[in-house]
Amino acid sequence: MAQRQKLLVLYAHSPDLNSRVVSWSEYDGTSTEKHTSGDSDAPPYDSVVAAMREGWRVIQFPQQLPSYPGMEYNTAYLKYEYILEKLEELDA
Partner 1 sequence: MPEPDHLLDSLQMARFAADGFLRFDELVPRELNEAAYEQMVANEVERPPAGTPLSSMWTDTPLGEVFRLPAIQGIKNSLVGTDPLYDHHAVHTVGANHLQGQAWHADAIIDIRQHFDIQFFYFSHETPREMGGTMILPGSHFRRISESDIGRYQNFRGQLPMVCKAGTVMVAHHGIWHCAQPNRTDQRRYMFKLRLNPTARQLRLWNTEDLGDPKISGILGTNHEWYGNESRLEVVNRIKFWRFLTGDEDFDVGYWLSRLENEPDTPQQQAA
- Using CB under 8 A as the binding rule, whether residue 14 contacts partner 1 is answered as yes
- Using CB under 8 A as the binding rule, whether residue 62 contacts partner 1 is answered as no
- Using CB under 8 A as the binding rule, whether residue 68 contacts partner 1 is answered as no
Q: Which of 1, 2, 65, 76 binds partner 1 (CB under 8 A)?
A: 76
Q: Which of 11, 45, 56, 82 binds partner 1 (CB under 8 A)?
A: 11
**What are the contacts of 52-57 at 24+ separation with CB within 8 A?**
52/17, 52/84, 55/86, 56/8, 56/84, 56/85, 56/86, 57/84, 57/85, 57/86
Taking the C-alpha atoms of residue 58 and residue 84, their distance in angstroms, rounded to an integer, is 4
- Chain residues binding partner 1 by CB under 8 A are 9, 11-14, 19-20, 22-26, 34-41, 43, 73-80
